[in-house]
Amino acid sequence: MNPDTVSPAARPVPRGVPGRLDGRVAIVTGAGSGIGRATALRLAAEGASVVASDLSADAAAETAALIGDSALSCQADVTDGEAVERLVATTVATFGGVDVFHNNAGMAQAAKPLGDVARAEWDRLIAVNLTAFFVGAQAVAPAMRARGGGSIVVTASTSAVHPRAGLSAYAAAKSGVLGLTRALALELAADQIRVNAINPVAVRTPMLSEFRLAADEELFDKLATTIPLGTAIDAEDVAAAVAYLASDDARYVTGIALNVDGGRDL
Ligand SMILES: NC(=O)c1ccc[n+]([C@@H]2O[C@H](COP(=O)([O-])OP(=O)(O)OC[C@H]3O[C@@H](n4cnc5c(N)ncnc54)[C@H](O)[C@@H]3O)[C@@H](O)[C@H]2O)c1
């Protein structure tokens, strides 16, 4: 898809609560695909101006083009502190501030025994899936403080509460995300900055095959039998939960991990 040729008619039909995020400014990382793209579209549909950020400049630009005039794209590697500072500064310069930060970019771990996990793989998974949340929160908190508050939402995973064998680094990173969510919720409450996590169960996005799930229908079917509501979940279900936490409907909600898991982790 060429962002320059996306016609308004080709844009997805907006879903969400109209006007709930009017006047708000949101940054979404990992917005070039899957859950991040769905969230960027959802937040925009509810009225927010959106900065779609991704490692892939083209993918981020595609998402911004799908939204239209109320969005811009910004390439950034979430593990690069200077790049994330630039992302926040660009957002403030363009839209006047930041109200919502969806820390969503992440990477999968190919399931493998502990002894086969190389140190470099462990380090990268922790950097992208955990350290980037610290980096992003550190960069965005001053801008939210200047605005009188805000909402940080991080995409964790049911792996944090219900790990699968072979995903040691992924589960460790996502569990760390939940600890950091609670710590930051306490620390930033005085600034009216709320910090919450979302725990999605397996969603069919490009990432899923890297866990060897979508590619392995038998494994996916087995997982489906453990989900009381079945596997109807899609990226929009996660986006809807993020939009709720981003909005004033959740103004008294902070420090939680909201499972979007069809009841799997009960
Ligand atoms: N798909 C699932 O089943 C599932 C379940 C639970 C949690 N999650 C989490 O949801 C989030 C989004 O995953 P998804 O399923 O939409 O995957 P996806 O592969 O569709 O999208 C991930 C996006 O993140 C971007 N990205 C990766 N590394 C980056 C980096 N260093 N800097 C900036 N951007 C980077 C990629 O370019 C991609 O566009 C991740 O944090 C993932 O761990 C996914």
* Alpha-helix runs per DSSP H in the chain: 34-45, 57-67, 81-95, 119-126, 132-147, 168-188, 217-224, 235-246
What mean pLDDT comes out for the span 108-127? 96
How far apart CA 60 and CA 204 sit, in angstroms, is 19
How far apart CA 155 and CA 28 sit, in angstroms, is 11
Beta bridge partners of 101: 27, 152
Confidence check: pLDDT of 2 > 70: no
- Give the pLDDT of residue 206: 87
- Give the pLDDT of residue 14: 58
Q: What are the tens digits of pLDDT across the range 66-89?
A: 999 999 999 999 999 999 999 999
**Domain spans, the chain:** 18-255
Q: Hey, what CATH topology would domain 18-255 get?
A: Rossmann fold (3.40.50)
Nearest CA to ligand 1 atom 10: 155
**Residue positions annotated with a catalytic role:** 170
Distance 141 CA to ligand 1 centre (A): 22
The pTM assigned to this predicted structure is 0.95
Distance 156 CA to ligand 1 centre (A): 10
Question: Could you tell me the pLDDT band of residue 209, with boundaries at 50, 70 and 90?
Answer: confident
Which of 205, 212, 219, 258 should be mutated for ligand 1, with most atoms under 8 A from CB?
A: 205
Confidence check: pLDDT of 3 > 60: no
How far apart CA 185 and CA 170 sit, in angstroms, is 22
How far apart CA 161 and CA 180 sit, in angstroms, is 14
How far apart CA 252 and CA 239 sit, in angstroms, is 20
108 CA: nearest ligand 1 atom? 43
Number of helices (H), then strands (E), in the chain? 8, 7
How far apart CA 251 and CA 256 sit, in angstroms, is 13
Residues within a 6 A CB radius of ligand 1: 29-30, 32-36, 54-56, 59, 77-79, 104-107, 128, 155, 157, 200, 202-203, 205-208
Confidence check: pLDDT of 168 > 60: yes
Q: What are the tens digits of pLDDT across the range 12-27?
A: 665 789 999 999 999 9
How far apart CA 213 and CA 229 sit, in angstroms, is 19
Q: In the structure encoding, which two tokens stand for residue 247, read together?
A: 């909005």
Q: What are the tens digits of pLDDT across the range 220-232?
A: 788 888 899 987 7
Distance 99 CA to ligand 1 centre (A): 22
Q: Note whether 205 and 30 are within 8 A (CB).
A: no
Q: Which residue has the higher pLDDT, 107 or 5?
A: 107
pLDDT averaged over every residue in the chain: 93
